[in-house]
C-alpha cells in the first residue's frame, strides 16, 4: 500500500494538450477508477505514473516520494495493459516471472511466486504456453498475474477487461474486487465502462479532455453528476434530458411537462426563469393511471425487454422522447396512450448555458449559512 | 487454389516453368561450362553432351592456370577467402553499429533524427563512382589503401544503410507497450533492448544481415580501385581469367560456381527466417 499524488500535471503532444494542469490524490489502499471517454487522457496519465512517459510540467509523488525523474524500473509499480502487452517470445511462466527476475530472486522463490499468483488466477495449467497459444481470457489473466506477482504497493490497471468477451468481463468484474482487496495494493483502474467503474471503485474520477471533471464515490457521481456530460455517461439507459424553464409558484419551484406541473422541492426560487435542462433517470419514472395527480400523458412508441429490466420509449404530447425503465416482469403499457409520473425529488436540474448541475436548495442554504 | 480449373492449372505451370527457365538457364549453363574445356565450350553448335572434366576446378584450387602461352599463377582461392572475410567482417561491423542505431531511430525521435537516417540512406542511392575518386585520395593520405580495415570501412557504405533501414522497420513494428511492460517490471532499458527488442526483431535482423552480406559479396568497384591483388575478392579476381592468350571460359564458369555457392547456401538456409521475418507483424502479443 502506498499513496499517489499528482500535482499540476501537464502533458502536451505537439500543440495538443493531453493532460491539462491535472491534480489527483489517491489514498493508501484506495481503489480509484479513472473513467472517461477515449481520448480523455486516462492512459497517458497511467503511463505517466508508471514512468514510461514524462510529464512536461508537474510532479508525480508515490508514497510521498517525488518520482517525477525516476526511471520506470525503479518506481516499483505493477501495471496491466489494455492490449495485454505480453512478451510474445516468452512462455506464460516467464511473462509472469519477469518482475521477479528483475530483483534477482532465487529460482525457487520465482517459481513459488509465479505458481501462487497463477493458481489465484486459475492459469496454472497453461504456464508453459506461449502467448500465441493462450485464449484471450488466459492472456488477460497472464497480464494481470504479471502485474500482481511482485506485490507492488501501487497497481495500475489500464482497462484490463476491454479486450475480453462479455461473459469473461462479467466474471472478472465480480472476481477483481476480491482479488484486489486480498492484494491490499493501492489501485488506479482505467475503464470506459461505467458499470465497471461503479463496481470496482472506492472513488471514481471522471476525466474528459485532459481534466478531471468530477471525483467522488460511485453514489455521489450517480446521484449528483457535476454536469450534463457526466450524467449522460453514467446510467443505462441514458438519462432523459429535457429543456425546461423552471417557474416559481405558490408551493415552490416547478417545471411544466406537457402542461403538467412537476414540483422540484429541492430547488429554490433562484432557478426560476432560467433556461435549464431537466435530468430524469429512466428508473425514477413510473407508469401511472390518468386519474392520479401529476400524471403526464404520453404515447408508448416501443418497448425493449432486456434481461433484468424493460425499457420503454414514450413520447410526450410535445413530441419529446422519454425513456422509462422498470424491473422486468412488472406490468406496463406496451403501446398507445399511457401516463407517467415523475418524482421531482429525484430530478436533476442543469444550467442550459454551462451544463453544470444547479445546486439544490438545501446545499445552497447550507453554503449560505457557512458564509454567514 | 481449389477453385482453379485444369486449364488454369496447366497454364499456370507453363508460365512458372518459363519464368524458372528464363532465370535459371544461365546458371545451369554456367554449371555445365564449368565441367568443360575451352574447346568444347566454344564448339559450334554447342552441345550438352560432353565428357566432363574437373580440370577447371583443379586449376582454380592449385592456382596454376594452363594457357596456350604457358602456366599463369592465379590467386582465386585467396580471392575467395578475401570475399568471405570481407563480407563477414563488414556485416558484423554493420550489425554492431547498425542495430543499436536502428533501435534509436525507431524508438527516440530526437532533433534531426530523420535527417541523419535519411543521409545514411542516401549512401545507397549515390553511385559509387561518384565518391570513388575522392575516396582513393583520402585512403592514400590515411594509409588505408589496400588494407582489410579500409575495405571493411568502405563496405559500411553498402551494409550500414541497408541494415539500419530494414531493422528500424522491424523495431517500429514491436509494440512499445511490450517494452514498457518489461521496463515497469523492473528491468533497465538495456536489458529491455537485449531481452525484448532484439529477440523480437531477430528474424528481421537476420534478413537484413543476409541482404547486406549478398550486397557486400557482390561489390566490385570499391575493391577494384582501393585494393590490390592480395586483398581483392572474387568479383575482382575473376578478371584474371581474361588473359593475353584468350578468355578462359571454363575457369570463369567454375569460379562463378564456387563464388555463387556460399551466398546461395546462405540464402537457402536463411529462407525460413526471411519468411518469418516478413510475417512478424502477424504475431502481435
Q: Residues of A with CB below 8 A from B285's CB?
A: 84-88, 131
Is residue A176 over pLDDT 80?
yes
Dihedral over alpha carbons A120, A123, A125, A131 (to 10 degrees): -150
Is residue B281 over pLDDT 50?
no
Cell numbers at residue A273, please?
A: 426563469
Query: Same structural domain for residues B34 and B121?
Result: no
Q: A143 to each of A43, A96, A149, A252, B147, how far by Cα in Å?
A: 16, 7, 10, 57, 54
Q: Residue B282 has what pLDDT?
A: 43
Query: Which B-chain residues 181-210 have CB contacts (< 8 A) with chain A?
Result: 181-189, 191, 196, 199-200
Q: Where are the beta strands (DSSP E) in A56-132?
A: 57-62, 65-66, 77-80
Taking the C-alpha atoms of residue A283 and residue A326, their distance in angstroms, rounded to an integer, is 6
Asked whether the beta carbons of residue B185 and residue A83 sit closer than 8 angstroms, the reply is no
Which chain B residue's Cα is nearest to A80?
Answer: B181
Domain that holds residue B258: 76-282
pLDDT in tens, A349-367: 999 989 899 887 654 444 4
Query: Same structural domain for residues B82 and B145?
Result: yes
pLDDT grade, residue B97 (50/70/90)? very high
Q: Residue A179 has what pLDDT?
A: 83
Angle (CA) A180 A185 A188, round 5°: 80
Phi and psi torsions of A114, nearest 5°: -65, -45
Q: How far is A104 from chain B (nearest CA, A)?
A: 11
Query: Same structural domain for residues B15 and B106?
Result: no
Query: Same structural domain for residues B59 and B123?
Result: no
- Whether B281 has its CB under 8 Å from any CB of chain A: the answer is no
The H-or-E segment that residue A203 falls in is strand A203-208
- The count of other CB atoms within 10 Å of the CB of residue A117 is 25
Please provide the distance, in angstroms rounded to a whole number, between the alpha carbons at the two ends of chain A.
42
Which chain B residue's Cα is nearest to A152?
Answer: B185
Q: Residues of B with CB below 8 A from A88's CB?
A: 178, 200, 283-285
DSSP designation for B116: H
- Whether B170 has its CB under 8 Å from any CB of chain A: the answer is no
Q: Residue B276 has what pLDDT?
A: 65
Q: Which residue has the higher pLDDT, B259 or B278?
A: B259
Tell me whether residue B1 is in a domain: no
Taking the C-alpha atoms of residue B1 and residue B14, their distance in angstroms, rounded to an integer, is 16
SS3 state at A158: strand
Query: Same structural domain for residues B89 and B69?
Result: no
Q: Residue B114 has what pLDDT?
A: 86
The number of residues making up chain A comes to: 372
Query: Same structural domain for residues B83 and B157?
Result: yes
pLDDT in tens, A296-339: 999 999 888 888 889 999 998 888 899 999 988 888 888 888 99
Q: Residue A362 has what pLDDT?
A: 58
pTM: 0.79
SS3 state at A197: helix
Q: How far is A141 from chain B (nearest CA, A)?
A: 14
Asked whether the beta carbons of residue A88 and residue B178 sit closer than 8 angstroms, the reply is yes
Phi and psi torsions of A57, nearest 5°: -140, 160
Q: Using alpha carbons only, how large is chain B's radius of gyration in Å?
A: 24
Tell me whether residue B125 is in a domain: yes
Query: Same structural domain for residues B139 and B228?
Result: yes
ipTM for this prediction: 0.82
Taking the C-alpha atoms of residue A240 and residue A207, their distance in angstroms, rounded to an integer, is 22
Q: Residues of A with CB below 8 A from B173's CB?
A: none
> Who among A87, A99, A102 is closest to B285 (CB)?
A87
Q: Residues of B with CB below 8 A from A75's CB?
A: 184
Using an 8 Å CB-CB cutoff, list residues of chain A that contact chain B.
47, 50-52, 71-79, 81, 83-89, 98-99, 102-103, 131-132, 146, 150
Tell me whether residue B268 is in a domain: yes
Mean pLDDT score, A175-179: 83
In angstroms, how far is CA A309 from the centroid of its own chain?
A: 21
pLDDT grade, residue A372 (50/70/90)? very low
Beta pairing, strands A211-216 & A203-208: antiparallel
Cell numbers at residue A122, please?
A: 486459475
pLDDT in tens, B236-255: 887 877 777 778 888 888 88
SS3 state at B24: helix
Q: Residues of A with CB below 8 A from B180's CB?
A: 47, 50, 52, 72, 79, 81, 85
Query: Same structural domain for residues B210 and B223?
Result: yes
Domain limit, last residue, from B54, B73, B92: B73
Domain limit, last residue, from B35, B53, B73: B73
Q: How far is B175 from chain A (nearest CA, A)?
A: 8
Residue B33 contacts by C-beta under 8 Å, 6 or more apart in sequence? B41, B249, B250, B253
Cis amide leading into A237 (omega within 30): yes
Q: Residue B283 has what pLDDT?
A: 44
pLDDT in tens, A213-272: 999 999 999 989 999 999 999 988 899 999 999 988 877 888 888 888 888 877 877 788
Q: How far is B280 from chain A (nearest CA, A)?
A: 11
Tell me whether residue B138 is in a domain: yes
Query: Same structural domain for residues B25 and B141?
Result: no
Query: Same structural domain for residues B49 and B117?
Result: no
Query: Same structural domain for residues B50 and B122?
Result: no
> Who among A79, A89, A132 is closest to B184 (CB)?
A79
Q: How far is B183 from chain A (nearest CA, A)?
A: 5
Query: Same structural domain for residues B244 and B258?
Result: yes
Number of separate domains in chain B: 2
> Which domains are seen in chain A, by residue range?
4-225 (3.40.50.300), 233-371 (2.40.50.140)
Which chain A residue's Cα is nearest to B175?
Answer: A85
Domain limit, last residue, from B50, B73, B96: B73
pLDDT grade, residue B10 (50/70/90)? very high
Q: Residue A267 has what pLDDT?
A: 82
Tell me whether residue B263 is in a domain: yes
pLDDT in tens, A144-172: 999 989 889 999 999 888 877 888 888 88
pLDDT in tens, B118-168: 888 888 787 888 888 898 999 999 998 888 999 999 999 889 999 999 999
- The count of other CB atoms within 10 Å of the CB of residue B282 is 6
Q: Residue B110 has what pLDDT?
A: 83
Q: Residue B250 has what pLDDT?
A: 86
Mean pLDDT score, B178-202: 92
A209 torsion bin: left (phi>0), alpha (psi -120 to 50), beta (else):
left
Which chain B residue's Cα is nearest to A77?
Answer: B184
pLDDT grade, residue A80 (50/70/90)? very high
Tell me whether residue B236 is in a domain: yes
Mean pLDDT score, B68-97: 87
> Who among A74, A75, A85 is closest to B175 (CB)?
A85
Is residue B68 over pLDDT 80?
no
Phi and psi torsions of B23, nearest 5°: -85, -30
Residue B223 contacts by C-beta under 8 Å, 6 or more apart in sequence? B86, B151, B231, B232, B233, B235, B236
Q: Report chain B's mean pLDDT, rounded to a whole number.
A: 85
Amino acid at each position: 500500500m502506498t499513496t499517489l499524488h499528482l500535482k499540476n500535471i501537464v502533458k502536451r503532444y505537439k500543440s495538443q494538450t493531453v493532460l491539462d494542469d491535472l491534480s489527483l490524490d489517491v489514498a493508501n489502499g484506495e481503489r480509484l477508477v479513472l473513467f472517461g471517454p477515449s481520448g480523455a487522457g486516462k492512459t497517458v496519465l497511467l503511463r505517466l505514473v508508471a514512468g514510461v512517459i514524462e510529464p512536461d510540467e508537474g510532479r508525480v509523488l508515490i508514497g510521498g516520494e517525488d518520482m517525477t525523474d525516476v526511471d520506470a524500473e525503479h518506481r516499483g509499480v505493477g501495471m496491466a495493459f489494455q492490449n495485454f502487452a505480453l512478451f510474445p517470445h516468452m512462455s506464460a511462466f516467464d511473462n509472469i516471472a519477469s518482475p521477479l527476475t528483475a530483483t534477482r530472486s532465487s529460482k525457487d522463490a520465482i517459481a513459488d511466486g509465479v505458481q501462487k499468483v497463477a493458481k489465484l488466477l486459475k492459469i496454472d495449467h497453461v504456464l508453459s504456453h506461449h502467448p500465441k497459444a493462450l485464449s484471450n481470457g488466459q492472456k488477460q489473466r497472464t497480464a494481470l498475474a504479471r502485474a500482481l506477482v511482485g506485490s507492488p504497493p501501487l497497481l495500475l490497471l489500464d482497462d484490463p477487461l476491454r479486450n475480453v468477451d462479455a461473459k469473461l468481463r462479467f466474471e472478472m468484474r465480480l472476481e477483481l474486487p476480491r482479488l484486489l482487496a486480498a492484494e491490499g495494493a493501492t489501485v488506479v483502474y482505467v475503464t470506459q465502462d461505467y458499470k465497471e467503474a461503479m463496481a470496482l471503485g472506492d472513488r471514481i474520477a471522471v476525466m474528459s479532455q485532459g481534466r478531471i471533471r468530477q471525483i467522488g464515490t460511485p453514489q455521489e457521481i450517480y446521484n449528483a453528476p457535476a454536469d450534463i456530460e457526466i450524467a449522460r455517461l453514467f446510467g443505462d439507459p441514458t438519462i432523459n434530458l429535457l429543456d425546461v424553464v423552471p417557474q416559481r409558484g405558490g408551493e415552490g419551484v416547478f417545471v411544466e411537462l406537457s402542461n403538467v406541473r412537476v414540483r422540484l422541492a429541492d430547488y429554490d426560487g433562484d432557478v426560476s426563469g432560467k433556461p435549464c435542462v431537466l435530468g430524469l433517470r429512466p428508473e425514477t419514472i413510473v407508469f401511472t393511471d390518468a386519474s392520479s395527480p401529476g400524471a403526464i400523458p404520453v404515447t408508448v412508441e416501443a418497448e425493449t425487454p432486456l434481461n433484468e429490466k424493460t425499457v420503454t420509449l414514450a413520447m410526450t404530447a410535445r413530441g419529446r422522447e422519454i425513456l422509462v425503465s422498470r424491473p422486468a416482469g412488472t406490468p406496463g403499457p406496451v403501446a398507445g396512450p399511457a401516463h407517467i409520473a415523475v418524482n421531482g425529488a429525484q430530478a436533476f436540474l442543469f444550467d442550459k448555458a454551462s451544463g453544470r448541475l444547479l445546486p439544490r436548495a438545501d446545499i445552497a442554504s447550507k453554503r449560505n449559512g457557512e458564509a454567514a | 487454389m481449389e477453385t482453379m480449373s485444369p486449364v488454369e492449372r496447366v497454364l499456370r505451370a507453363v508460365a512458372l516453368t518459363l519464368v524458372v527457365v528464363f532465370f535459371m538457364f544461365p546458371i545451369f549453363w554456367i554449371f555445365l561450362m564449368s565441367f568443360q574445356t575451352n574447346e568444347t565450350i566454344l564448339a559450334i553448335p554447342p552441345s550438352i553432351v560432353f565428357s566432363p572434366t574437373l580440370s577447371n576446378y583443379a586449376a582454380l584450387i592449385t592456382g596454376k592456370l594452363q594457357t596456350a602461352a604457358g602456366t599463369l599463377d592465379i590467386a582465386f582461392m585467396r580471392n575467395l577467402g578475401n570475399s568471405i572475410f570481407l563480407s563477414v567482417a563488414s556485416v558484423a561491423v554493420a550489425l554492431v553499429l547498425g542495430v543499436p542505431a536502428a533501435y534509436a531511430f525507431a524508438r527516440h525521435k530526437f532533433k534531426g533524427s530523420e535527417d541523419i537516417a535519411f543521409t545514411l540512406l542516401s549512401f545507397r542511392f549515390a553511385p559509387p563512382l561518384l565518391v570513388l575518386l575522392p575516396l582513393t585520395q583520402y585512403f592514400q593520405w590515411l594509409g588505408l589503401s589496400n588494407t582489410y580495415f579500409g575495405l571493411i570501412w568502405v563496405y559500411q557504405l553498402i551494409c550500414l544503410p541497408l541494415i539500419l533501414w530494414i531493422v528500424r522497420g522491424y523495431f517500429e513494428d514491436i509494440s512499445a507497450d511490450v517494452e514498457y511492460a518489461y521496463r515497469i517490471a523492473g528491468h533497465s532499458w538495456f536489458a529491455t533492448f537485449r531481452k525484448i527488442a532484439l529477440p523480437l526483431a531477430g528474424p528481421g535482423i537476420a534478413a537484413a544481415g543476409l541482404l547486406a552480406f549478398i550486397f557486400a559479396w557482390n561489390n566490385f568497384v570499391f575493391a577494384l580501385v582501393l585494393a590490390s591483388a592480395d586483398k581483392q575478392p572474387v568479383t575482382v579476381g575473376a578478371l584474371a581469367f581474361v588473359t593475353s592468350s584468350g578468355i578462359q571460359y571454363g575457369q570463369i564458369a567454375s569460379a562463378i560456381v564456387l563464388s555463387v555457392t556460399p551466398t546461395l547456401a546462405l540464402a537457402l538456409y536463411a529462407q525460413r527466417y526471411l519468411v518469418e521475418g516478413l510475417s512478424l507483424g502477424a504475431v502481435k502479443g
